[in-house]
């Protein structure tokens, strides 16, 4: 009950945030928290619940970003159609790569996902129609309209769309946690042989997990493209993005509903505000601090920050 009240209060606070903070930068930080939060939530479904640690999720993000942007720029479609198409394409692509890649375990799997990511990035860099290394601009349309998914006057609408993406991811995760698939996923994570012997169709469950994860990630890609208005292979398909998504989830706590959100809420402001504070010095001190803090958290709280919250909660009750 207390928990539910706290959650509602948090939601209310998040909803009124744009009314209180009218400057773009605080809103931008929140939007980034929502975006990375939703990406980490999507990643968490595959890695946290189903135990398949992917370091190639940027591929799905990139598919979402590129599909909608190319449809807008080359065919004049609304980004919303592109968003749906991108998610569908990401799901199809995930199923295609999943067949071979899911035979692998542990590091072999993780590296295979890196390999897929690098191959896709290389192909897009050399694909002239899709802009190649030069990237693609989203044609700017004035005035603002929901149909065009472009808001130049205020970030408030972006804010609520990003929040919507995050809530969608959380709702899907919540639903999965309680459905039998959620139990199957966790069984696969703990022990594939044992799960199979209990009658779980391991391959099919893994395919389900990656399909959901890929689709949700692609939605984030479209959002990014419509928010920044420019995409190129380096910003939406790179390994560093894949690692960042993983890092956000791991920092917060994998295999938990709130872990990825907590991770984003800590990591994004940490990186944004240390950069604002020290980035202009040209000595990378902000990045030094950022790296050091990640290590400190890893040492003090290897199971993620959510574990810390749970421990505090227990301590209070006990």
Partner 1 sequence: MEIVNFAHGEFLMLAMYVAFFAWALGHLDPLLALPLAVLALAALGWATYHGLIRWVLGGPMLAQIFATFGLAVFLRAGAQFLWGVDFRVVQDPWLGGRVALGPVFVGLPQLAASVAALVAFLGLWRFLARSETGVALQATAQDRQAAALMGVDTDRMYALGWALGAGCVGAAGALLAMYFYVFPDVGGTFALLAYVTVALGGFGNVPATLAAGVVVGLVEVFAGLLLAPAIKYAVVFLLYLAIVLWRPQGLFGRW
Partner 2 sequence: MSQTLAIVLASVLALPALAAAQPREVVLGVVYPMSGPAAQAGVDNKAVFELAAEIANGATDLPFPFYQRLKGMPGLKGAKVRLIFADHQGKPDVGQAEAERLITQEKVTALVGSWHSAVTATMSQAAERHGVPFLNPESSSPGLTRRGFKWFFRTSPHDEHFTQVMFDFFRDFEKKRGVKLKTLGLTYEDTLFGADSGKVMKDLAKKHGYEVVLDIQYRARATSLQSEVQRLKGANPDVWMPTSYQTDAILFTRTMKELDFNPKMIMTQDAGHISPDFIAAVGKDAEGTMSRAPFSTDLIEKRPVARALNVLYSKRAGKDLYDFPARAFTGMMTLLDAINRAGSTAPDAIQKALIATSIPGEQLIMTWDGVKFDETGQNTLVKGIILQLLGGKYHTVYPFDVATKDVLYPIPAWKDRK
Element (H, E) at 231: strand 230-231
Phi, psi of 231 (to 5 degrees): -130, 145
Q: What is the Cβ-side half-sphere exposure of residue 117, based on CA atoms within 13 angstroms? A: 25
Choose the contact partner of 25 out of partner 1, partner 2, none; CB within 5 to 8 A by kind.
partner 2
Residues 151-180 within binding reach of partner 2 (CB under 8 A) = 152
Nearest to 130 by CA among 58, 225, 231: 231
Cα separation, 268 vs 36, whole angstroms:
8
Q: Which positions from 64 to 103 touch partner 1 by CB under 8 A, shown as an x/- string?
A: ------------------------------------xx-x
Q: Which of 77, 114, 229, 294 lies at the binding interface for partner 2 (CB under 8 A)?
A: 229
Q: How many residues are listed for the chain in this entry? A: 318
Work out whether 135 is an interface residue with partner 2 (CB under 8 A).
yes
Residues 161-200 within binding reach of partner 1 (CB under 8 A) = none
Decide: residue 52, CB within 10 A, 0-12 exposed, 13-18 middle, 19+ buried. buried
Choose the contact partner of 205 out of partner 2, partner 1, none; CB within 5 to 8 A by kind.
none
Q: How far is the CB of 255 from partner 1 (least distance, A)?
A: 9
Element (H, E) at 137: strand 136-137
Q: How far is the CB of 112 from partner 1 (least distance, A)?
A: 6
The DSSP symbol for 281 reads: G
Work out whether 10 is an interface residue with partner 1 (CB under 8 A).
no
Cα separation, 224 vs 217, whole angstroms:
11
Element (H, E) at 182: helix 180-190
Q: Nearer to partner 2 by C-beta: 210 or 236?
A: 236
Nearest to 263 by CA among 273, 275, 254: 254
Work out whether 28 is an interface residue with partner 2 (CB under 8 A).
yes
Q: Which residues bind partner 1 (CB under 8 A)?
A: 47, 53, 100-101, 103-108, 110-112, 114-116, 118-119, 122-123, 125-126, 239, 243, 246-247, 250-251, 254, 282-288, 290-295, 297-299, 302-304
Q: Which residues bind partner 2 (CB under 8 A)?
A: 23-25, 28, 32, 122, 125-126, 132-135, 137, 140, 152, 224, 227-230, 232, 234-235, 272, 275-276, 279-284, 286-287
């Amino acid at each position: 009950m207390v928990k539910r009240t706290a959650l509602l209060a948090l939601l209310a606070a998040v909803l009124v945030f744009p009314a209180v903070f009218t400057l773009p930068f605080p809103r931008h930080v929140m939007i980034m928290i929502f975006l990375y939060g939703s990406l980490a939530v999507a990643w968490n479904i595959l890695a946290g619940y189903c135990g398949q640690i992917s370091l190639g999720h940027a591929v799905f993000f990139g598919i979402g970003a590129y599909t909608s942007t190319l449809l807008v720029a080359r065919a004049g479609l609304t980004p919303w159609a592109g968003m749906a198409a991108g998610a569908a394409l990401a799901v199809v692509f995930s199923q295609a790569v999943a067949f071979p890649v899911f035979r692998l375990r542990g590091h072999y799997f993780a590296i295979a996902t890196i390999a897929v990511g690098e191959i896709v990035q290389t192909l897009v860099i050399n694909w002239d129609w899709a802009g190649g290394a030069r990237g693609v601009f989203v044609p700017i349309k004035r005035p603002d309209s929901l149909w065009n998914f472009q808001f130049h006057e205020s970030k408030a609408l972006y804010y609520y769309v990003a929040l919507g993406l995050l809530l969608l991811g959380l709702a899907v995760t919540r639903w999965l946690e309680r459905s039998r698939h959620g139990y199957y996923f966790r069984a696969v994570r703990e022990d594939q042989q044992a799960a199979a012997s209990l009658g779980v169709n391991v391959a099919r469950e893994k395919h389900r997990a990656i399909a959901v994860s890929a689709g949700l990630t692609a939605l984030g890609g479209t959002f990014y493209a419509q928010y920044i208005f420019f995409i190129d292979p380096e910003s939406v398909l790179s390994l560093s993005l894949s690692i960042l998504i993983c890092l956000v989830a791991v920092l917060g706590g994998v295999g938990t509903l709130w872990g990825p959100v907590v991770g984003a809420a800590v990591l994004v402001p940490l990186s944004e505000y240390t950069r604002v504070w020290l980035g202009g010095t040209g000595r990378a001190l902000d990045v030094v601090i950022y790296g050091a803090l990640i290590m400190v958290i890893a040492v003090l709280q290897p199971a993620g920050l959510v574990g810390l919250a749970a421990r505090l909660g227990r301590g209070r009750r006990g």
